[in-house]
Amino acid sequence: MAEGTRLENVNPLIYQRSGERQLTAEDEDEDFVDPIDDREIFDLIRSINDPEHPLSLEELNVVEQMRVHVNDNESTVSVEFTPTIPHCSMATLIGLSIKVKLLRSLPERFKIDVHISPGTHASEQAVNKQLADKERVAAALENTHLLEVVNQCLSARV
Amino acid sequence: MCDLRSKAPRMHAMAGDGLELLSLVEEFVVGQQDSKAEDIATGVTTGQFTILKLVEGLGSVLTSCEPRTRGRGVQLLSSVIQQCYANLQEQEVQVLTKFYENRLKDHYIITPHVLQGLKSLTMSPALPSGLAVSILGSLFQDIHVQSLMQAERFCVYSILLNLMGSCEGELKGLGANFVFGFIQAMDGEKDPRNLLLSFQIAQNIINRKYELGTFTEELFEVTSCYFPIDFNPPPNDPHGITQKDLVLSLRAVLSGTPQFAEFLLPLLIEKLDSDIQSAKLDALQTLTACVASYGHKELKEFLPSLWSSIRREVFQTASEKVESAGLSALHGLTACLSRSVLTCDSEDSLETFLNLIVKDCQHHLCEPDLKLVWPSAKLLQAAASSSFRASCKISRVVVPLLLEQYNHHVQSTQRRTLLEVLQKFIHSAKRSPVEEGGESSLAEYRQSLCSVVFCALSDSSSALQTSGLRTLMAIGNHPGLLFGTDIELAVDHLSKFILEDVDNETSLVAMEASGSLACLHTTAFCSRMVPALKEKILSDCLGGSGETPPAKSQQALFLRIVRALAAISTHPNLVRETVPILLQVLSASHTGNVQIRQEDVISVCQNLQCIVELAQGSEESACYFHETVIPYVLGLSLQAAFHKRTLSPLREEKVLSALVPVFSAASGCSQHMLAAQTASQILMLFLVGDATFLPENNVPQNVNLLKSHSDNSAQTQLVCLLMGCVCSLPINAELPMLDQLLTELEELSCTCLHPFTYTSAAKCFAGLVNKYPSGQKLDQLLENTLTRIDTILTSTEPSSSSNQKQAFTFLLWLTKALLLRYHPLSAPLTDKLLCLLVDPSLGTLAADGFALLMNDPPDVLNKACHADVRMMYRQRFFTETAPKLVQGFNSSPKEMKSSYLKALSHILNCLPKQVLISELPALLPLLLEGVSCPDSEVQLSTLSCLHPLLLDIPQVLTLHLETLITKLLGLTSSAAMKIRIMSLRCLHALTQLPLHVILPFRSRTLRALAVPLDDKKRLVRKEAVLARGEWFLLGGPGK
């Protein structure tokens, strides 16, 4: 990073990572049906990279398991995320990354809702509206530059 | 007549040499036949022509007024010299060199040939002194290097390098003129091949201390303008020069001398501040390289800006490479300052520099929640680990600060971070060399460190406890920090963690800490931990009435204690304390006074094995094992075998199998005498029934344990213990009554009906045959045995067909034993196994047998058992067997094919990757067949064989991609979960193929992968998510 491009939040709070999900005997059992649960959705998004820091969304506490809700039978998912600072200009980008990750990783039957935790961002409503709008999400992903940043967030870190 | 005729032509030839030479020259120059140069060179080398004659012969050509003709002439002369420069006389070299120097002034089309000739002449061992200077003079004066072609420039650099090698003294006599000439020659060079050479010359100039004179800055400029190197070799580059070659070579030049410091350091700072990752990395690595030869004089002026650039990189970077390069550079800088000798009037630059670091970093240590605490700690540690002085200085600030912060913050997550930082400091203080007679830089904080650790150990948060345990381990391993009552307290804490029901990770770390501290603080562990564990295991786990089965938590406690006893057995004194406890448990389980589950007994045996393996080097412990432990355990097993009514766990196959490694580890120890003695005692017991060496021996006298009856399998199965003992002896150990033993074992493996017994007997036989000395005796033995096996296998009588399984097992183990030692009989035996692949009753067994042939068995015929295992026997087996398997596969009927595939995939799974990579293309069609084979076991093993190949060399599969992807996608809906998972992993691995190959399949694969996203098993969904995520990234920006 050159002198000119300063980070918005140089020294953010960092949080503990939760460990890998423990394997149970039921997981290994061929016949048992594992439902898609909150933890599984959380595992999908917790390792997404932050666009600025070499840290995951989980370590920055942008996503938390208690803010993830899934109903397997009704095929709905709802994720709330919390930007690190109220004026974070990356909020839309982070939301988009979460949304894209879920679109790529969940069966098509699911309706996916991604929004900012109430009261944690200055332009909360605008961002939520953009994320909920299918057309705008699709249009954003047509933009090569945006897609590049999103893909970087979703790549496995080397 | 005859004589005369044969002489005449020779005389003629002598006279005709001159003519022949002339005609060859003519053909080369006028006839443009390049091959004639070769002929002339051969002639010169064999003495048929001389160089002088050649020059005379070339006379008219070299003086021709047509430049091309002159060029052709010089070319011929140069090619000849190139072939035979080693044979030239000093006089010849002198004359030729003068001639060539003169030719440098000639027409430009001649120059390439002139340089070629000069290059060869400079390689001549007869180069007269004084010529080097004159060659260089002409080169620098008459040639403008950068207007030559690449090959000619290469020639010039080679000439310089040759002369630097042979005439160093003369070149140095030129003073700075040589350096000046070189600078002019290489200024503007662009070709990587030439750059490598000119960097080499520059390195020589610097390392061999040529005089730089006023040209120091010029030499720096002319080389540093390439920094940082940005070079992408073209695809299919035949020269094989990599970016790394150039980077390292340039780095050696730039960091070679402190004289460059004033120019290099500003350049490095500038590159560090740029935006390009690779430039930063190169700058940091070059900095690390150059401070090795610098002193504080060179660095002084630049320290503040170097620090601020390094700090910025470590604080902000997203790349681990840059971070670790930054830390190494800081380490190097501090080490350099620590080394520098101070004069009385100069300031202490190390002190000033460390103050700067501490000032910028220490306040971040007070905010354990925030991101920068870690980079700050790493920077401080990098500086502290560079010297004792730096370590003292930084410890004096940081350790009290961390201790104070620990007491100041109360949340356990914050305390945990602080403790982990502290632990890293203790490690880095240990790495810094302690000065002679000096105390550790941490000695003064001993007391507070211990109390912080004990405070953390008593905390309720298990994460903090774990960090506390790790810190305790660090303190305990640091000399002089843990002693007296603190050790006792520490051991009590550790015992508490083992005995109390804490979470899994904490108890594992407590085990690890106990193991690592036990060898340093043996007495405390003997007097405090062992009694505590013993009391608990005897009272709580074994003290129960035996009526009610123990509760789950008690079983876990039992396992923890047993594991801890093994972990701390790192010293002979401890071994003598811990092993009796385990033996007591075994004995209690045998008498049946208490109820112990079978898996608990097995874990006692496994931990006993760990102890024996841990103590392998110690003579004292070995004595103890052989004199006490082995006889005791054997005695117990015998008692169990003879008392039919007891339900002793020592009658169980699984328990006995767990005991085998204990015997084999003890037997394979380095105390050969002891092992041989025990082995012969046990042999006497089995063959003659002599049980006198066993304690409390109340077994019937004179029974033959190897004679099989209808219902004595409990006794015959003890042959596995015999195997553990006699098959692990060193290869040259002598065994009494070996041949009788082999006869008995053969009988037992062919006739016994009890599977565990006949398998163990076969293994024991194989283990002994593997080490049996070659010769007629062995051949006779094998012949008899094989005849017997053959008779049983080929017999059609129903009575002997029941023994076919035994014979097959025996054959398999025998093949294994001979295969390992490259015995010639192993090939025909393998062929027998191949024939059995199509046998209706033994086919499956035979296919699985190939896995056994390729893998190391845990208890016999492996390296630890001192077996005769030849290098690369697997490759050899593969090369000999694979073609037969392929042929068998192709020629056999459809329902038999799967046996061949299974055998093949067993072999492939065990081969080293390098071998697979070269062999795979031929086998690929077969493997693809395996993927679609209906046998799910074959599918799975083929997939697990394909997977590593896809990761390593996906390109070999390019041709079969269409088939492969179709089949893999089909398997994602297989009925077996493991196959679904494995096929998804293979699909994931395919994303590594070159983009243009794989991209056409993207949309089809993405669509197909949407299905397993909704799989009923979570583990399958996880793999599907990973694979689909990677396929999405293919061809997208930002990958």
| pLDDT at B699 (0 to 100) | 67
Using CA atoms, how far residue A56 sits from A59, B374, B712, B1026, in Å, is 5, 16, 64, 17
* H or E element that contains A70: strand A68-71
From the candidates B323, B1018, B1028, which should be mutated to test the interface with A, based on the most A CB atoms within 10 A?
B1018
* Start-to-end Cα distance in chain A: 18
- Strand A111-116 to A76-81 pairing: parallel
> Which residues on A lie below 8 Å from B1019 (Cβ)?
27-28
Please give the pLDDT value at position A4: 36
Q: Which two tokens stand for residue B550?
A: 């123990």
In chain A, the largest separation of any two C-alpha atoms, in whole Å, equals 58
Entry field: residues in chain B: 1039
Residue B639 has which token pair? 């008692």
User: Would you say residue B889 has pLDDT above 90?
Assistant: no
Q: What does the pLDDT look like over B499-513, one tens digit per residue?
A: 887 788 888 899 999
CA distance B747 to B765: 11
- Angle between the B320-339 and B388-408 helix axes, to the nearest 10 degrees? 120
Q: Give the chain A residue nearest B370 (alpha carbons).
A: A13
What integer pLDDT is reported at residue B512 of this predicted model? Answer: 93
Smallest Cβ distance to A151: which of B369, B463, B1033? B1033
Q: What angle do CA B306, B311, B316 make, to 5 degrees?
A: 135
Is B496's pLDDT higher than 80? yes
Nearest to B317 by CA among A151, A53, A15: A53
Mean pLDDT check: name the lowest of B72-81, B421-430, B888-897, B945-954: B945-954
**Number of domains composing chain A:** 1
Rounded to an integer, what distance in angstroms lies between the CA atom of residue B540 and that of residue B532?
12
pLDDT band at B344 (very low <50, low <70, confident <90, very high): low
B1033 and A155 within 8 Å at the Cβ level: the answer is yes
Question: CB B1014 to CB A54 under 8 A?
Answer: no
The pLDDT value recorded for residue B702 is 64
Name which of B315, B317, B371, B1028 to mutate to probe chain A: the one with the most chain A Cβ atoms within 10 A of its Cβ.
B371
- The stretch B317-329 carries a mean pLDDT of 88
The chain-wide mean pLDDT, for chain A, equals: 87
- Pairwise CA distance, residues A87 & A120, whole Å: 9
Residue with tokens 């064999």: B46
Both ends of chain B: CA-CA distance in Å?
88
- The whole-angstrom separation of Cα B897 and Cα A134 is 53
- Mean pLDDT computed over A112-140: 92
Q: How far apart are CA B722 and CA B700, in angstroms?
A: 18
Instruction: For residues B25-29, give the mean pLDDT.
Output: 85
Rounded to the nearest 5 degrees, what angle is found at the Cα of B238, between the Cα atoms of B237 and B242?
Answer: 55
H or E stretch including B154? helix B150-166
In a domain, A26, yes or no: no
Give the model's pLDDT for residue B996. Answer: 87
Query: What is the extent of the structural domain holding A141?
Result: 35-154
pLDDT at B523 over 80: yes
| In-domain check, residue A78 | yes
Q: Compute the average pLDDT of residues B579-583.
A: 93
CA dist B895 and B903 (Å) reads 15
As a whole number of angstroms, the distance between CA B183 and CA B514 comes to 64
Distance from CA of B312 to the nearest CA of A (A): 8
d(CA B476, CA B517) in angstroms, rounded, equals 6
Asked whether the predicted pLDDT for residue B35 surpasses 60, the reply is yes
Helix (H) and strand (E) counts in chain B: 53, 0
Model confidence at B871, in pLDDT bands (50, 70, 90)? confident
DSSP-derived letter for residue B774 is: P
- Give the C-alpha separation, B139 to B137, whole Å: 6
A17 occurs within a structural domain: no
What's the CATH number where A138 sits? 3.30.300.130
Segments in B643-775 forming alpha helices (H): 653-667, 672-688, 713-716, 719-726, 738-751, 755-771
At residue A7, does pLDDT exceed 70?
no
Q: What is the pLDDT of residues B904-941, one digit of tens each?
A: 888 888 888 777 777 777 788 888 888 887 778 788 88
Instruction: Inform me whether the pLDDT recorded for A153 exceeds 50.
Output: yes
Q: What percent of chain B has pLDDT over 90?
A: 42
Maximal CA-CA distance, chain B: 121
Q: In this predicted structure, what is the pLDDT of residue B9? A: 43
What pLDDT sits at residue B353? Answer: 92
With beta carbons less than 8 A apart as the criterion, state whether B541 and B557 touch. Answer: yes
- Cα(B636)–Cα(B648) distance, rounded to whole angstroms? 10
Please report residues of A whose CB lies closer than 8 A to that of B1036: 147-148, 151
B339 by Cβ neighbours in 10 Å (0-12 / 13-18 / 19+) ranks as middle
Query: What tokens does A127 get?
Result: 């961002």
Enumerate residues 6+ apart whose C-beta is below 8 A from A12.
A53, A55, A60, A84, B370, B371
Q: Which of B753, B782, B756 is nearest to B768 (CA)?
A: B782
Task: Tell me the range of B170-174, B328-332, B858-862 where mean pLDDT is highest.
Answer: B328-332
State whether A148 and B1038 contact (CB < 8 Å).
Answer: yes
- In the numeric block, which tokens belong to residue A30? 């061929």
Whole-angstrom CA distances from B471 to A36, B480, B515, B719 are 40, 15, 14, 48
Q: Which residue has the higher pLDDT, B289 or A51?
A: B289
pLDDT tier at B11, thresholds 50, 70, 90: very low
- Span B583-614, pLDDT tens digits: 999 888 888 777 788 888 999 999 999 999 88
Q: Is the model's pTM score more than 0.80?
A: no
Asked if pLDDT for residue B437 goes beyond 70, the answer is no
What is the DSSP secondary structure assignment for residue B31, as one 8-state letter? T
The confidence band for B799, taking pLDDT boundaries of 50, 70 and 90, is low
Query: CA B567 to CA B472: how far, in whole Å?
Result: 17
pLDDT score, position B779: 92
Q: Is residue A105 part of a domain?
A: yes
pLDDT value, residue A84 = 86
Shortest distance between the Cα of B398 and any Cα of chain A, in A, equals 20
Using one digit for the tens of pLDDT, what is the confidence trace for B77-113?
A: 999 999 888 888 898 899 999 999 999 988 888 999 9
**B4-13, B662-671, B746-755, B849-858: lowest mean pLDDT where?**
B4-13
Question: Does position B651 have pLDDT exceeding 80, yes or no?
Answer: yes
B501-510, B716-725, B1023-1032, range with the lowest pLDDT: B501-510
Specify the pLDDT at position B465.
Answer: 92
Model pLDDT, residue B595: 75
Three-state SS annotation for B294-359? CCHHHHHHHHHHHHHHHHHHHHHCCCHHHHHHHHHHHHHHHHHHHHCCCCCCCCCHHHHHHHHHHH
**Mean predicted lDDT score pLDDT of chain B:** 87
Helical H runs in B409-479? Answer: 412-431, 446-457, 462-477
| Chain B residues touching A107 at Cβ < 8 A | 1010, 1013-1014
Highest mean pLDDT: which of A135-144, B346-355, B682-691? A135-144
Q: What is the pLDDT of residues B118-168, one digit of tens each?
A: 999 999 988 888 889 999 999 999 889 999 999 999 999 999 999 999 888
Of B460, B475, B546, B569, the closest CA to residue B506 belongs to: B460
- Decide if pLDDT at B434 tops 80: no
- Under a CB-based contact definition with an 8 Å cutoff, are residues B595 and B544 in contact? yes
Distance, in Å, from the CA atom of B763 to the CA atom of B723, rounded to the nearest integer, reads: 7
Six-digit token string for A69: 């809700």
Which amino acid is located at A157 in the chain?
R
- Residues B370, A33: C-beta atoms closer than 8 Å: no
Q: What is the pLDDT of residues B372-390, one digit of tens each?
A: 899 999 999 999 888 888 8
Query: Residues of chain A with pLDDT > 70: what percent?
Result: 94
| Mutate: best of A14, A16, A62, partner B, most B CBs <10 A | A14
Q: CA of B514, closest CA in chain A: separation in Å? A: 25
**Which chain A residues have a beta carbon less than 8 Å from that of B1022?**
43
Residue A15 domain flag? no
pLDDT at B10 over 60: no
Helices (H) and strands (E) in chain A, counts: 6, 3
Torsional sign, CA B403, B406, B407, B409: positive
Instruction: Give the closest residue to B742 by CA, choosing from B757, B723, B725.
Output: B723
Token pair for B203: 């390195």
pLDDT of A3 above 60: no
Q: How far is A124 from chain B (nearest CA, A)?
A: 25
Mean pLDDT of B10-15: 45
Residue B249 · residue B198 · CB < 8 Å:
no
Considering only residues A51 and B982, tell me which one the structure prediction assigns the higher pLDDT: B982
d(CA B917, CA B904): 15
Residue B376, pLDDT score: 94
Contact B731, B767 (CB under 8 A): no
Amino acid at B547: E
Q: CA B87 to CA B579: how far, in whole Å? A: 77
Question: Which region holds residue A153: left if phi is over 0, alpha if psi is between -120 and 50, else beta?
Answer: alpha
